[in-house]
Amino acid sequence: MSEKVVKVGLLGFGVVGQGAWKHLTQGEAGLEKLLGVRIELAKASVRDLKKTRDLSIPSEKLTTDSWEIVDDPEIDLVCELMGGINPARELTLAAIAKGKHVVTANKALICEHGAEIFQAAETSKVHYGFEASVAGGIPIIKAIRESLVANDFKLIYGILNGTSNYILTRMEKEGAPFDEVLAAATELGYVEADEALDLDGFDAAHKAVILAYLAHGIWAPEGGFPIEGIRRISTEDLQAAGKLNCKVKLIAVIRRDFETNGVALGVYPALVPMSEVIARTDGVYNGISVTGDVLGTTVLTGRGAGQDPTASSVISDVVDAVKVIRGDKPPPKLLHTHEGVCRLASPSEVEGSFYLRLTVEDKPGQLARVADTLADQGVSIATVLQSGIPERSAASIILTTHATNEHSISMAIDALESLSGVLDKPVLLRMFDPNNHSK
């Protein structure tokens, strides 16, 4: 860095990259006054130089070679906005090894290789900023690492995927079927090219893994906790939730039992009580509720995706990195101070109540057989509602359970799937209870 200039290179120049470039350019004078240095946008890497883009920049500032940016000794700060695992991992580690500070929005990379990258950044004493990787413009990472540092967190939960929230909101308000709303969301550009990221819970799971590490020092492997999506939710489920004074939301839940230090982590659609702010967070908005032992509960809501919200978080990390470069502050500690204290809770430790919808043959005694099958696995019924489906000569059974655990309900679902007279795969939703300390 020269005395008055910090040079920045962007790896990737898609929606977020162009947004960061645009707002850094527009805010250049204000940032210079704030920081006492000028941020110079040196270069951005792209796949195709000839591609038409919404933002026009000088051709000499574009390159198809990302290594040109990483290897440039004059570039002080690299913004990795390309996404994916490779080559983003290699480029990130190389930049860190060369003493460059790195800012990213790449949640998948952190989820899979966060431990390695965090260790590398601490070894090289550089800033690695990743606020934009979780919940777009909502400053949840900074809140957990800085503002709420005095707290141990017994519960963090919320909506971390705006696309699924948009779909569920429209289904609930308009009574529209899933496929129709999905088509509209796709046309609006809300759905990822790999739609499983949004619809099957994987995008929210990446973010939940990052939050679980920040809060509790554990890296949760894929397959180590429930990840479920919204594809099988029907308007019937949304209406039933309304009768229970709840809304169905795809939520990530991170809950710690302080006696056992078991952390229950999961991403799934759940019935959230209307008394919760998260239940009333609709459309493309994200919302995160954080409960600490010192602060109590605070809720942050806002746009969780899109060019401007994500660019806002990228620029926040750029500003922090510049302060490190200037020597105003040390790089933030990334490795959790209590790593190894907590563990992932086993399914049998994770308790709660459940909502279950079954489609069964419309014959006498079917409900009794369902009840007996659940009882065999230690699951008891709290409420039940049965209605006919004449066109299929079938019936819909909607029931809720008393408190049980994830292992027992999983065994019960397996048993129901093989039960004579059950026509479709059961639809299972959690009944979210903010006061349940184990789920």
Q: Can you tell me the distance from the alpha carbon of 196 to that of 269, in angstroms, rounded to the nearest whole number?
A: 15
Q: 53, exposed or middle or buried, with CB in 10 Å at 0-12, 13-18, 19+? A: middle
351-379: b (≥16 Cβ within 10 Å) or e? bbbbbbbbbbebeeebbebbbebbeebeb
* Active-site option among 107, 207, 247, 323: 207
Q: Beta strands 246-257 and 262-273: pairing type?
A: antiparallel
Q: Is 107 noted as a catalytic residue in this protein?
A: no
* Contact (Cβ atoms closer than 8 angstroms) between residue 215 and residue 254: yes
Residues assigned a catalytic role: 207
